[in-house]
A and B are shown apart, each in its own frame.
Chain A
Amino acid sequence: MSSPRALACPTCGGTVSPPLGSRKTSCGFCGKKLYYSGPDFVPRFYVEPGELEETIRRNCAALFKSRMTPRDMNRRSRLVSRERLFVPFYLITGKRGGVMQTGRERVVRKPPSWDTRIDQTAFGTGTVLPSRSIRPEVTVEEDSRVTLGDFQYLYPAAVMEEWNFSDVELRSVVSKHLERVHPVRMSALIKQGELLDANLPVEQILAKGVASVASTSGEIKVLDHHVAVVYVPLVRLTFQYSEHIFHLVAEELEGNVLSGRLPFRRDWGFLLGFPLVAVLGFLVGQSLQGFHTQAVQGTFHMKEAGQVLGVIALFWAILAGLGLQAAWYFIRTPFIVRVSPGGARIEEAGASPKNPFTPVNKFIWDVLKGLFSGTRRRSF
């Protein structure tokens, strides 16, 4: 279905460019009105956006109030700009029909036969079979199901990876709002926002869509199909918070936020540090209290106390080293909050800078390695 670049007017032979968004065109030389019958023509529609300003505002505010974002974000964020985007979807509609041969199960309750009754009497029961002994039988009857109906298949017409949202969520929302589609001229659409190019080949999608609605047995066939491009309106909101600039993308059919990045709340590290320091303080207090008790009881030995203090100092040094490194990683790594239809999650926005403690770590590691390998050598 490659699109021809130039066409010849059947009346005057003048060059006519293929029309976009309309099958009707006219010759620029003789003015004749013409119909373009090329198979590459796809009619364009758009889904009318809803009045969702308040809903989108509420959804954005809910994200700003998240525990992952700075506490004053809802108060201090400022909307800098909003732009509309139109995302294309292929809508394949058509008629399918056929006759399917199916079997229909039926439960039949048969009365007992005369022979059975005779046998029963011969064995001395002397009575007719009771009704509960009648066994139901399942029979399969032939049945034909006539199908004649319309089908609908919706598929993204552009790669949406760069927008960081899955088309699955958007597709289900669009399917619910297809009743709001209108034919549209591309010129009118371009005036209202940025258009994403329908860059996925329609042939593949058509084959996939048509195959999915026909039955594998071949009894149900696609009688007629119609391909259209439906543009779905999204809004890209740009916010400023402190020195940060961040974006959120929301769809304008139900007002859900589809993707975006928000600044991360850094004071979480300090908040987590408080209970850690409290625990460490408690442990040190406990050990010092132990020394005090020994001193009061007169059982305090300088040599033992020195060993214990050495262990405590080592423990403190390790903890302080790890804490400093954790703080370095936490403070210097750029974190963001990634927004998706499934919720918000914390992500690294870039690589962490080089750790200044690396040489110290290496030295400690080498010493420990030497100690352990030395021990092992000695044991052999």
Chain B
Amino acid sequence: MPLLIPLTCPRCGSDLAGGAGARIFLCTKCLRAQFMERPEVSYPVVFIQPVLAQGESLLYVPFWRVSGKASLNCPDHKKAERYKSVKALGPLMVPAYWSPRADYYEDFALRYAREPDKLIPGPEAGGTILDGVRAPATLPEIARLTWLAYLDRFADVTGVRLTFKVESTAYACVPFFREGRGYVEGIFGTSIPGSFLVEESPVPSLSTKLP
């Protein structure tokens, strides 16, 4: 692979948009996202409509939306019966952004997957988009393990074989609102600290006041 790749859309030829540290760039005309280290594949960009309109300004946070089919092979009939009563997960939302705080990732991914009806695609509402960095290569394995972890809550998964076949992958931009030093997530209204999302900020200068 060449070390320098032109930042142009292979479909329409227009410039791709992304920040200094981004590895995923967007064509705002075709609404396609491209992981630049595999430029031959592009993914549709989906903007999720905010359910709650609040906060100071809108920031779109990118997730990989993975839709697919989970198939289960469970030799234990009792367990299989239990799993049948479990509500199926919707498309999985795997964070595509980088965060130094790991503790919110799983919460959001599972919450979105359990209530997929709340994630309604719509037009872009004019916010900035956070840089996407995470490679899509591991999404099938992440999806498989997310399903297994979900099923393990209902019955132990020893002896269970689960396969996940990815049917479609999209680059979903979920609305968040800046509020003070933190953010409010635009679907469920969850407040999160400012440290969750990493945005560029000016370096404060050293005070000239001497102690």
Contact = CB atoms under 8 A, between A and B. Distances in A.
Interface of A: 4, 7-11, 16, 18, 21-25, 32-38, 43, 45-46, 48-49, 53-54, 56-57, 60, 79, 82-84, 91, 93, 95, 97-99, 101, 142-152, 178-185, 188-189, 191-193, 223-224, 226, 228, 235
A34 B5 contact: yes
B8 to A, nearest CB: 8
A191 B138 CA distance: 39
Contacts of B204: 48-49, 192
Closest 5 CB pairs of A and B: A179-B195, A150-B102, A57-B211, A22-B20, A146-B149
Interface stretch (B21-29, B66-74, B113-121): B21-29
Interface in B123-169: 133-135, 137-138, 141-142, 145-146, 148-149, 152, 156-160
A377 B18 CA distance: 94
Contacts of A54: 211
Contacts of A33: 6-8, 15-16
Contacts of A83: 206
Contacts of A145: 152
B180 interface: no
Contacts of A223: 138, 141-142
Contacts of A35: 4-7, 16, 25, 36
18 contacts: A10-B6, A34-B4, A35-B16, A60-B211, A79-B211, A82-B206, A82-B210, A84-B206, A97-B145, A142-B156, A143-B156, A146-B145, A148-B145, A149-B105, A189-B203, A223-B138, A223-B141, A226-B133
A49 B201 CA distance: 12
In this complex, the member of A36, A38, A97 whose beta carbon has the largest number of chain B beta carbons within 10 angstroms is A97
A67 B56 CA distance: 54
A146 B22 contact: no
B198 A183 contact: yes
A23 B3 contact: no
A183 B203 contact: no
Interface SS of B by simple majority? loop
A189 B201 CA distance: 11
Contacts of B43: none
Contact of A183 (B1, B20, B101, B207): B20
B100 interface: yes
Given A46-B203, A53-B209, A37 B3 contact: yes
Nearest to B151: A146
Contacts of A93: 98, 100, 102
Contacts of B100: 91, 93, 152, 178-179, 181
A119 to B, nearest CB: 36
Contacts of A235: 206
A264 to B, nearest CB: 23
A145 B205 CA distance: 48
A193 B206 CA distance: 9
Contact of A182 (B2, B157, B199, B211): B199
Given A21-B20, A23-B21, A178-B100, A37 B7 contact: no
A226 B6 contact: no
A99 B5 contact: no
A179 B211 contact: no
Contacts of B19: 24, 183
Contacts of B193: 179
